[in-house]
Structure 1
Amino acid sequence: MDILPAIDLKDGKAVRLSKGVMDSAKIYSDEPWQVARRFEELGSKWVHIVDLNGAFMGEPANLEQIKKIRENCNLKIELGGGIRDEKTIQMYLELGVDRLILGSIALKDPQFVKDMAKKYPIAVGIDALNGMVAVEGWAEVSTIQATALAKEFANAGVEAIICTDISKDGMLCGVNVNFTEEIAKESGLYTIASGGVKDINDIISCKKNGQIGGVIVGKAFYEGTLNLKEAFSIL
């Protein structure tokens, strides 16, 4: 199982939100690249980056910070937020990003995602509230079940599915292991749990499950409730 520490970018700063609400943003660093370097020092192989402004705007909005992160660490970068077309995918890959996350567009145009997955390293981001898919920076909740959307990409060449329980995101209340397991079973894909990680027990629960390929760690690191070095050591 992989642990992917997260950097959420808002107005060029590393922040964390509570339940995806932009006004809840708490700033943790004015220099996100320094956070990425710290993740590398602690033993991470990946960094999970979300361009929050981009998710709302539908286009890249924190490009300079993403460039700085790429230039200052050797981590593999998984990036999402505002990626809606092939040109943006190509731009980020040329920049040195290793995997792109397609979220809102996966619901609105699943064929586009399947086409892109045949050519590029693509992950599908499925964010859900009460089991229903949310899009546009979580500002809209659809009538589509998250498990149904996951099944749509079962044999599409997608590298990973990242599933987030919005109700738990940034709340330090524990991972929704059952939800992640359902997504993994429906898709048959490498599935990454996101939202709610509090401490080492969450890492252990995800690892023990056996269906979960990775887990994203955000606020637990920033607030000090999870020792990231210890988390990597138990893997």
Structure 2
Amino acid sequence: MAEFLKGMILSVLSEKCYNEFFVRYNFLDEPCLKATLSKGLGIGIIAGSILVKVPQILKIVANKSAEGINIYGVYLELFAITANFAYSYIMNFPFSAWGEGTFLAIQTAIIASLVLHYGGSPGKATVFLATYVGLVSAVVSGYVPKDVLWNMQAVNVPIIVIAKSIQVLTNYKNGSTGQLSAVTCLLLFGGSIARIFTSIQETGDSIIIITYCVSTIANGALVLQLFWYWNVVKTTKNVNKKKKKRI
């Protein structure tokens, strides 16, 4: 039993940190505290990412509508997520530093296909999914040069800005956030903040760190819109209710 517990702990802690905490009982070792916090956050983010976009998917399916969701913004976001996890995978970064990208990519691809499907193009939705799976298989196969993957990751910075800006402008023009899920947006915002810290600790890769900094700002803009238009919609509904009562 003791060996099993040690094995479980070592899946999160390094041998050095295990010795510091459980042999020397030095629970205030700063490097180990940071490393443990980073690893724990990474695992938590990955666990949360398994369902992070499910509320968005369920909302689209329940309403049988993808109104307010810009397909081009979804495409760009999917490219950014895919480039991030493919680059991290090829660079052999710890899974805890990028694992959520796998689940986010799957869910974002589903959202893109749903937007196409409910937009009146079910055939395009099927072709899109098949094409995406083929492209991802090729990218993570190891045949794509690392320089190309690095450039894809570097392009993520402007792509994230453009993708989120498209959605922000769409929300502004519509005067609402449409079928965007508040839960999904808040989880993505919180996850991107945590990823700045874990990326510094576990990868030290400047392009990854910059990407998450930009992602945090972009996701923050959507969260602000969610709260802003939430109040606007509530006010409008209350005004309409008062008008109906007068009539």
TM-score by length of 1: 0.29
User: 1 or 2, which has the higher strand percentage?
Assistant: 1
Structure (1 or 2) with the larger CA radius of gyration = 2
TM-score by length of 2: 0.28
User: 1 or 2, which has the higher helix percentage?
Assistant: 2
| Higher RCO (C-alpha under 8 Å, 6+ residues apart) | 2
